[in-house]
Amino acid sequence: MPSPLVLVRHGQSDWNLKNLFTGWKDPDLTPQGVAEAAAAGVMLKEMGLSFDIAYTSVLRRAQHTLEIILGELGQPNLETVKDQALNERDYGELTGLNKDEARQKWGEEQVHIWRRSFDVPPPGGESLKDTAARVLPYWDKVIRPVALSGKKVLIAAHGNSLRSLIMRLEGLSGDEIVKRELATGAPVIYWLNSDGSIARKQDLGA
């Protein structure tokens, strides 16, 4: 029987609200972000889902999102693994800049390339390709074997670390995955067969 793998991008963070490049900086959730995380937990509970293990990054916006979801599910003490491999993409010199300020400094076209190309990193930072190069080995070695053993897995992480996972799960190209938008606090559920193929998918943010 296929087992669920749930991916959730953290709720709105303080820097999301301020339109800043966040990367590895560590702002917490806004009140809206807290509400988004709670709503995600309610949606998962209404579907009758519970989990055997959870994974998250070392950044508090993802951890806080996970804590709120698990509270709504009545599983506050679920085994949780935190790892830097699931961190957001490192934006390098863009980190902390308002996105409009970055466009003024480097130009609209260059900032668009950094944000929406697969393999062009900003100065001192990571491209999505670089992000995938740390996320996917962690998936292959740590999470995938657990998910394929039939355990129900919840991952609360970030837009770009989750894009890396979705690219692998759905067999997408770099050009395809950079166009994929992930809403904050909106679970994406995959029911995985024992060979890793997807039996069914449901995007609760769609």
Count: domains in the chain:
1
Confidence of residue 205 (pLDDT cuts 50, 70, 90): confident
72 part of a folded domain: yes
100 part of a folded domain: yes
Mean per-residue pLDDT of the chain = 96
The average pLDDT across 97-116 equals 94
1 part of a folded domain: no
pTM score, two decimals?
Answer: 0.96
- Catalytic annotation, pick one of 10, 67, 126, 158: 10
What is the domain extent for residue 21? 7-151+161-203
Residue 112 annotated to the active site: no
2 part of a folded domain: no
pLDDT digits 0-9 by tens, 129-148:
999 999 999 999 999 999 99
pLDDT digits 0-9 by tens, 153-170:
999 999 999 999 999 999
pLDDT digits 0-9 by tens, 40-74:
999 999 999 999 999 999 999 999 999 999 999 99
- Catalytic annotation, pick one of 72, 88, 126, 158: 88
CATH number of the domain to which 133 belongs? 3.40.50.1240
The average pLDDT across 122-127 equals 97
Q: In what order do the strands lie in the sheet with 153-157?
A: 80-82, 53-56, 153-157, 3-9, 188-192, 198-203
How far apart CA 147 and CA 153 sit, in angstroms, is 6
Residue 88 annotated to the active site: yes
